[in-house]
Each structure stands twice: as C-alpha cells, then as structure tokens.
Amino acid sequence: MKVALVGIGKIAVDQHVPAIVASPDWELAATVSRSGRVEGVDAFGDFATFLVQRPDVTVVSLCLPPQPRFPYAEAALRAGRHVMLEKPPGQTLAEVHALRDLAASVGVTLYATWHSRMAHAVAAAKAWLSDKTVTRAHITWREDVRHWHPGQDWVFEPGGMGVFDPGINALSILTEILPAPVHLTAADLEFPANRQTPIAARLTFSGGVTADFDWRQTGPQTWDIEVQTDNGNLALRMGGNVLEVDGKTTGERSVMGEYPALYARMAELVKGRQSEVDLSPMVHVSDALTLGRRITTDAFHF
C-alpha cells in the first residue's frame, strides 16, 4: 500500500521513515512538508495539491504536532484517504470525536496510534495482570525536555500538552494493561511562569493509582510503571520494554519495534476496513487539566 507522510520533522525522520522503508506492506510514495523531504520520494509543499495530484496514495500518516493536525486529517478523510494519527490524536477530545465520525461516514480507516502500547513488554504485562486485582500502581515518567524536544516551543503552547506529551505515553500503557479502568481524582500541575502548559504533574487516580511526570530530569531518564496486585508485583521499565515480575526480569517480549508494529496494525485495519480510536489516555490528560491545581514555577527557556 502506498502511504504519504505529512510533517517531515523529528518523529517522521527518526521512526516513521525507517519503519515504512523496512515494511513489506508499505511504500513511501509521497511526503508533504513545508521544509522537509525524503530523498527519492515525491515531495509536496502543499497538502491540497498532494490530494489532487496523487489519488493513488490511499493512506496518509500525519506526523505533525497536535495543534495543526485537525484540518489535515479532516481534508484527508473527506478526500477518501485512510488516516493514521501520531499521538496525542488531537488537541481536544471533540476534534477526535469529529474525525472518528467523519471516517465512519466516509467508510475509511482512522487509526489513533499509541506507540508506547507497542513497546516490547506491554502485551506480556497485560496478560500477566489480566486475572489479578490491582491494589496500587505508580508511574514515574521523568525525562529531559531539552534532550527529547530541543527547541520545540509547540509543546509549551496551548494544545501542546506540556509534560503530558510524554506522560500520555505512560497513560496509554496504563490504560492498556490495567484489568479494570481507573479515573483521575486530583492533580498538581507545575506551570513555568512564562509558559502555557505544565512542565511537571503529579496525578492521583481511583484504585490506588498515582503518577509523577517531570520534564526537568537530567542524567538517567526514568520511564517506570510499578503495579502491586493481590497475587504478586509487576514493574514495566524502560518505557514498557522490560518486564519484571516480583523483582525478577522476565524474557517475555514482542519481536517488533514500536513503529513497525504500528504500521503492521494500520495495514490490518485498512485491509479489514476497520478503525481504532481509543481515547482513554487522552481523557485522563483532559481530566488532569480540568481538575489540576496550578502551581507556578521557574520560567523555562530551551
């Protein structure tokens, strides 16, 4: 299947292009970007022109930040293209509801991807927890924004989600592996004095679940989820890639990397004429931004 990549920025270059090039299912047939391009691939600077000139490219993968993404997704769906969305799938829940309804009415696939759900040990963690009762869980997601998002001011603009841009990855894993859903009950959000989105968040959910997200961690980075149950303890470390049960690392891992697995899933969805749009991670973020207690902290500059 032919796919076009829209927004040739950090994640397109780091992950999407290599995953597509290595896949037997996909051909990278076009790019749409104001400045980026991929050598040897038909390049467009304007999305409307691409849609008119390349009707043979039936799948569009949007790698833009969430703020400009909706009009691209809407135009692609209206033009009868199947659409794959980077996480988070939109700036607001209502935007994604509209896209899901539009995809259904046009009869094309919409896939709201969550790349962290494809990390090597997530499926094994879900299987291990499936017959247990969770008594407590804690997420520690602490990383260095200057390292992972150098100069990307959009993360601190409205709709950019701040520390929830990585934090939603943890929430995508949590909502995938927990055997019963939880809901947010309280949040403390730290906003830099000169920015619109939080740089740190501490969350409390029902069911003894808590989370600590921080974008100011230099040195070793931490992406851990620790879960206590009525029948043993589990930890997912390294962003869902390492599974520990009762303190011992298990060898259970899926074979595919995150982005190859996303494109394999998109191929299945398109062939089956299905959509997959699970907004549960984003509901927790919206709820945190609704219930959160605002704390002003030091100004942030890249």
Instruction: Give the active site residues.
Output: 87
65 binds ligand NAP (CB under 6 A): yes
Angle formed by the axes of helices 164-177 and 122-129, nearest 10°: 40
8 binds ligand NAP (CB under 6 A): yes
- Residues 186, 163: contact at Cβ < 8 Å? no
How far is residue 128's CA from residue 134's CA, in Å, rounded to a whole number? 11
146 binds ligand NAP (CB under 6 A): no
Q: Out of 17, 38, 64, 134, point to the residue binding ligand NAP (CB under 6 A).
A: 64
Shortest approach of ligand NAP to residue 169 CB, angstroms?
8
- In the complex with ligand NAP, which residue's Cβ is closer, 64 or 203? 64
7 binds ligand NAP (CB under 6 A): yes
- Residues 85, 110: contact at Cβ < 8 Å? yes
84 binds ligand NAP (CB under 6 A): no
208 binds ligand NAP (CB under 6 A): no
73 binds ligand NAP (CB under 6 A): no
17 binds ligand NAP (CB under 6 A): no
How far is residue 234's CA from residue 275's CA, in Å, rounded to a whole number? 31
Peptide bond into 88 cis (omega under 30): yes
- In the complex with ligand NAP, which residue's Cβ is closer, 34 or 301? 34
Shortest approach of ligand NAP to residue 259 CB, angstroms?
9
Q: Out of 27, 36, 268, 287, point to the residue binding ligand NAP (CB under 6 A).
A: 36
Alpha-carbon distance values, 186 to 142, 206, 285 (Å): 19, 9, 11
How far is residue 98's CA from residue 229's CA, in Å, rounded to a whole number? 38
DSSP per residue, 248-296: EE-----SS-HHHHHHHHHHHHHHTT--B---HHHHHHHHHHHHPEEEE
Contacting residues for 45 by C-beta, under 8 A, at least 6 apart: 32, 33, 34
163 binds ligand NAP (CB under 6 A): no
- In the complex with ligand NAP, which residue's Cβ is closer, 63 or 243? 63
Q: Out of 17, 28, 63, 234, point to the residue binding ligand NAP (CB under 6 A).
A: 63
Interface residues with ligand NAP (CB under 6 A) are: 7-12, 33-36, 63-66, 68, 86-87, 115, 148, 152, 165
